[in-house]
Structure 1
Amino acid sequence: MCGIVGVFGHNPVSQVIFDSLSMLQHRGQDAAGIATYFDERFYLEKGNGLITEVFDAGNMARLLGNIGIGHVRYPTAGCASVAEAQPFYVNSPYGIVFAHNGNLTNVADIVQSLFETDMRHLNTSSDSEVMLNVFAHAMARRGAVKPNEFDIFAAVEEVHRRCKGGYAVVAMIAGVGMVAFRDLNGIRPLVFGTRQEGGKTEYMIASESVALQVSGFKLEHDLAPGEVIFIDHNGELFNHVSLQAHEKAPCLFEYVYLARPDSTMDGASVYQCRINMGIKLAEKIKREWSHLPIDVIIPIPSTSRIAAQEIATRLNIPYRDAFVRNRYVGRTFIMPGQAQRKQSIRRKLNPIPQAFQGKNVMLVDDSIVRGTTIREIVAMTREQGAKNVYVCSAAPPVRYPNVYGIDMPARSELVATGKTVQQLAKDIGADELIFQDLEDLKDSITEAAPDLTHFDTSVFDGNYVTGDVTEEYLATLEKQRNDAAKHTEDVASHITRNLSSRL
């Protein structure tokens, strides 16, 4: 889950990219980067931290040019070193700068062929760099001195043939133009917008529609599965949809948690989707849990607020925003270690005692993944004097790893793995636990966008839409990406940085 932006303008674009990245900061808080192109040169600034920590007036002034791309990162895997920050660059052929959101499922096979067949070198463990080199090699194979749209489309087709998984990409090719494309299933989001400046059309490609709105771009469309957009250096736009493309299957978890509520994704208002989730849950509670003496509905801020408000309205039960969120603590879900996530919860949320004392409380969460957050919040609720604590999740139990770019890859770290709902309720300390049904969750999005009928639901049911995810693959992934592995890599990265500073 990263955020990407590409802008083709007729005036300097660095501030536009910065503003758009600020609207995508929720998608990654580990690192940020911006690259621009001017006078046959790329200008690149990137580093660890929030965009306000990475960029200042000095380095923003160095980002010259009317074309540029940006990226905010959180580590799906590997260490959080600055070397992993994007965009990435290769100088051959032409010079290409590349930013990517997602994850490849066949990266090991690609790496081997890059070394043995393509004879290309990788400098990081990032699959984004792998994908960049696949694209660069495909462009080199075309052999065009001045590539045109057909060369671009052919190169992207080769990327689709070699790269499996979920991905959304923006890239710049020196002296050629800007390229953006989406994976063959449309798993990871990517939108396209335009605005008029001085009678000329400017273009933006981004992960979410909110990135367009902040700078006055109009949402034109979401890229279709396998679609590529190419804007040449003169500002002429071309697009192509791969014949390899499958039925659109966007990630269902985007609508539950990842996306901002003010975004529209694949034609569905995220806000309306979350209202629908609340309606479905209220109907389930009326149908199956009407015996619960619920006194108050309290959301776990902030993603669950919309669904919680709808539940309270439909059940005619008081709604209270009883957890005050510290806006200066990041999203705990995307923090790169269990200890860090747990430590941050009580700094992030503080309860208002009057809302809990002597009441039967229903807590509403968007989802339950690792269980760290909900355990602490249930404990906090009891500490404030609640009589009973019921937990309601806007999503079904997350029982399977994600392999398409969300940091929930280790099955052993998913709290619902191998447990019944009753066992899970006991584990998190709740008196009762209610989950959204998967079909109701899918219907919540389809009702907001009738054309959306097919989704990647793998984290809930283990059905991976790319069809290439095996048990052997998942076992290998778990060894590489569990919190113990991340801790080891973070320590190694820290040691490396300390040694480098002494040389």
Structure 2
Amino acid sequence: MEPLKHECGIAMVRLRKPLSYYHDKYGTWMYGLNKLYLLMEKQHNRGQEGAGLAVVKLNSRPGEEYLFRERALGSNAISEIFDAVHKSFHAYSAEQLSDAAFASSQIPYAGECYMGHLRYSTTGKSGLTFVHPMIRRSNWRAKCLAICGNFNLTNVDGIFQEITSVGQHPRNMSDTHILLEQIGHRLDREVERLFCLSKGQNLKGMDITHFIEERIDLSNVLKTCSGFWDGGYVMCGVTGSGESYAMRDPWGIRPAFYYMDDEIIVTASERPVIQTAMNLPAEAVQELMPGEAILINSNGVPRIERILEPKQYQACSFERIYFSRGSDQDIYRERKALGYLLSDRILRSIDYDIQHTIFSFIPNTAEVAYYGMIEGIDHYLDERKIRTIRENPHMSETELREVLAQKVRAEKVAIKDIKLRTFITEGNSRNDLAAHVYDITYGTVTPGVDNLVVIDDSIVRGTTLRQSIIGIMDRLQPKKIVIVSSSPQIRYPDYYGIDMRKMREFVAFRAAVALLQERGMEHILHESYQKALELRKQNFGEEVENVVKAIYKPFTAEEISDKIVDILKPEGVRAKVEIVYQSLEGLHEAIPNHPGDWYFSGDYPTPGGAHLVNEAFINYMEEDLGK
């Protein structure tokens, strides 16, 4: 119920024809720019802290700019950057703007290679400096590089050491800046390799440039660099001479999709955005496989190449639960299944009293799971009607109508009423205002008689539940409030793109610690802390034990859920409160093709994840408990 800062979104467009072709066929040479806008706007859900685009113009002459970039901060960043691009066109006459050949050579942002990015901060670093694309410039077009990505690397320090060992001096320690220098350095070496080959063929002048740009192979660059990367990622890049790539991590943690025909090549983080932007059926859009890259040369010729051997498949399940657009046909089906599979446990929690229960959802991202939950309750109710009729074959028409009239009571009981502004939410006023983020629909619940079931997609910190949701639900005076999470208990930080990194942020962790303290089992905390200190000495690339698992091991999921209720239930709430979580088994039944569940299970797909969760636990013990 509290929004997470999470994976970024990427969008790339490569035109395979001259701009005049699109002007003649589609009525504008801005065809590629317009497609980029659609791809970015349809992924607005993936980044509301900033956005940027880069464009490479292939038909520039020496002395003319060929790599253009625009970036902006804030939730309106997409509109701002495209407004800025179109404002740059005001310098040209209507005749010039309608001339595709003139645009191709003279007008900024009129290019063939487009890259877009939507940013959510995953590391707490903010400001325009950290908004993608990042650019590394050179007097050689082939050495110029713009990169962006949907990623978080766990071993930035190791990559930093690797690139500084060869003499580089990065000016920033963010993972994107480090990657820019690492990839840029290898790109320099690739260009220099081809330069030596050209000299061996006695080429001179611009013939050397053309020789390099026609032969540069970004797979060499990626294969050399990516062996150092630990994390979940989709890396994208374009050079000043028009070579481009998009590469997916070998575990398949982060998603990437593409479409290509003889006019255009499109890459994005989500399948339905490509379907919408290009008006395509789902089967026309392909998924980039783990460890693969789509590589496009300066002539616009694409190929798919395996850069790294695929590892154990660990595609992110939380991507399906929460982050991606629900308009994807598979994600829609999976989210419904998550709700459907919870129906039995929900029925038990309300003692099967459907007649006196209201079903609803908060927030809007939980709506599809809500439909699945209603289907599950409906299915149970239909079976109960059939059983009642079979057991009473001689019931009167009135009695029969009473049985058939039984319905699931579905209502919109909560409405997001205001958006808190930071200038009025500081200090003591924040908690008071947070209680009014949602408002309720009065008259939907019979006081003291009805249960109220509200489904959410996930519960991480529980802040909004404690400060707002439970309290306003209680105003309706239900007999019982059942909060349902379509995902399992989120117990562990993510280190592959989602901004939840500190142990104290997880209400499930706080509940487990509270149970240890209540039951005189605090020694488990201290033993796990000592073990984490020992494991800290091991090489970062080595597999290590996740010591935080020991904190949860003594307790059942139900015990932790009950303690979460104790933590989150505000004083003065009269209704009984229960929280029902999805099980790990239910998660994998609903989402069988995305097994990455480290948020819930603690089974990190890469060595870096376990190292970092142990480090987070050390920080918790030393900072929160004052060790």
TM-score bracket, normalised by the shorter chain, equals: 0.7 to 0.9
Equivalence map 1:193-232=2 (5 Å): 193-194=259-260, 200-216=262-278, 218=280, 219-232=284-297
TM-score of the aligned structures, taking structure 1 as reference length: 0.84
1 CA distance for matches of 2:267 and 2:491? 33
Q: Does 1:405 align with 2:497?
A: yes
Q: Which amino acid aligns with 1:37?
A: V
Q: Does 1:20 align with 2:39?
A: yes
Q: Which amino acid aligns with 1:361?
A: L
2 CA distance for matches of 1:217 and 1:289? 45
User: What SS is found at the alignment partner of 1:64?
Assistant: coil
Tell me the CA shift for residue 155 of structure 1: 1.5
Q: Does 1:30 align with 2:49?
A: yes
User: What SS is found at the alignment partner of 2:453?
Assistant: strand
- Which moved further from structure 2: 409-418 or 53-62? 53-62
Tell me the CA shift for residue 144 of structure 1: 2.8
Equivalence map 1:156-171=2 (5 Å): 156-171=222-237
Tell me the CA shift for residue 147 of structure 1: 5.5
Contact 1:403-1:409 at 8 Å conserved across structures: yes
More helix by share: 2
Per the alignment, residue 143 of structure 2 pairs with 94
- Which moved further from structure 2: 423-432 or 348-357? 348-357
Tell me the CA shift for residue 28 of structure 1: 1.1
Q: Which amino acid aligns with 1:83?
A: T
1 CA distance for matches of 2:368 and 2:153? 33
2 CA distance for matches of 1:98 and 1:59? 19
Equivalence map 1:40-51=2 (5 Å): 40=60, 41-50=66-75, 51=77
2 CA distance for matches of 1:344 and 1:74? 25
Per the alignment, residue 342 of structure 2 pairs with 281
Q: Does 1:307 align with 2:369?
A: yes
Deviation readout 1:97-119 (Å, 9 max, x if unpaired): 11111100101111122223251
1 CA distance for matches of 2:433 and 2:218? 45
User: What SS is found at the alignment partner of 1:303?
Assistant: helix
More strand by share: 1
Per the alignment, residue 242 of structure 1 pairs with 307
Give 1:433's match in structure 2, choosing from 579, 591, 597. 579
Give 1:2's match in structure 2, choosing from 3, 8, 20. 8
User: What SS is found at the alignment partner of 1:386?
Assistant: coil
Tell me: CA distance 1:72–1:49, structure 2 relative to 1, closer, same or farther (3 Å): same
2 CA distance for matches of 1:128 and 1:42? 19
Tell me the CA shift for residue 226 of structure 1: 0.6
Tell me the CA shift for residue 387 of structure 1: 3.0
Tell me the CA shift for residue 288 of structure 1: 6.8
2 CA distance for matches of 1:18 and 1:148? 29
Give 1:182's match in structure 2, choosing from 238, 242, 248. 248
2 CA distance for matches of 1:319 and 1:465? 40
Q: Which amino acid aligns with 1:76?
A: T
Per the alignment, residue 382 of structure 1 pairs with 474
Tell me: CA distance 1:343–1:136, structure 2 relative to 1, closer, same or farther (3 Å): farther
Deviation readout 1:302-328 (Å, 9 max, x if unpaired): 1111111221232243121222346x9
Tell me: CA distance 1:279–1:153, structure 2 relative to 1, closer, same or farther (3 Å): same
Contact 1:312-1:318 at 8 Å conserved across structures: no
Contact 2:213-2:241 at 8 Å conserved across structures: no
2 CA distance for matches of 1:134 and 1:344? 46
1 CA distance for matches of 2:491 and 2:465? 16
Q: Does 1:137 align with 2:185?
A: yes
1 CA distance for matches of 2:481 and 2:162? 54
Deviation readout 1:179-218 (Å, 9 max, x if unpaired): 11101101011110135xxxx4201100112321232154
Equivalence map 1:74-153=2 (5 Å): 74-92=120-138, 94-123=143-172, 125-142=173-190, 143-145=193-195, 146=212, 151-153=217-219
User: What SS is found at the alignment partner of 2:294?
Assistant: strand
Contact 2:150-2:234 at 8 Å conserved across structures: yes
Tell me: CA distance 1:226–1:52, structure 2 relative to 1, closer, same or farther (3 Å): closer
Tell me: CA distance 1:357–1:288, structure 2 relative to 1, closer, same or farther (3 Å): closer
Contact 1:225-1:247 at 8 Å conserved across structures: no
Equivalence map 1:310-321=2 (5 Å): 310-316=372-378, 317-321=408-412
2 CA distance for matches of 1:288 and 1:57? 52
Cα RMSD over matched residues? Answer: 3.0
Show structure 2 runs of 5+ residues with no match: 1-6, 18-28, 61-65, 89-108, 196-211, 379-407, 512-559, 570-575
Deviation readout 1:203-260 (Å, 9 max, x if unpaired): 1100112321232154431110011001122221111023422133211101111111
Q: Does 1:365 align with 2:365?
A: no
User: What SS is found at the alignment partner of 1:215?
Assistant: helix
Q: Matched residues, percent identical?
A: 25
Number of equivalences: 461
Q: Which amino acid aligns with 1:152?
A: L
Tell me: CA distance 1:242–1:57, structure 2 relative to 1, closer, same or farther (3 Å): closer
Per the alignment, residue 461 of structure 1 pairs with 601
TM-score of the aligned structures, taking structure 2 as reference length: 0.68
Deviation readout 1:356-398 (Å, 9 max, x if unpaired): 4523111100010111122221111112333321111101100
Tell me: CA distance 1:116–1:173, structure 2 relative to 1, closer, same or farther (3 Å): same
2 CA distance for matches of 1:383 and 1:149? 69
Tell me the CA shift for residue 69 of structure 1: 0.6
User: What SS is found at the alignment partner of 1:417?
Assistant: helix
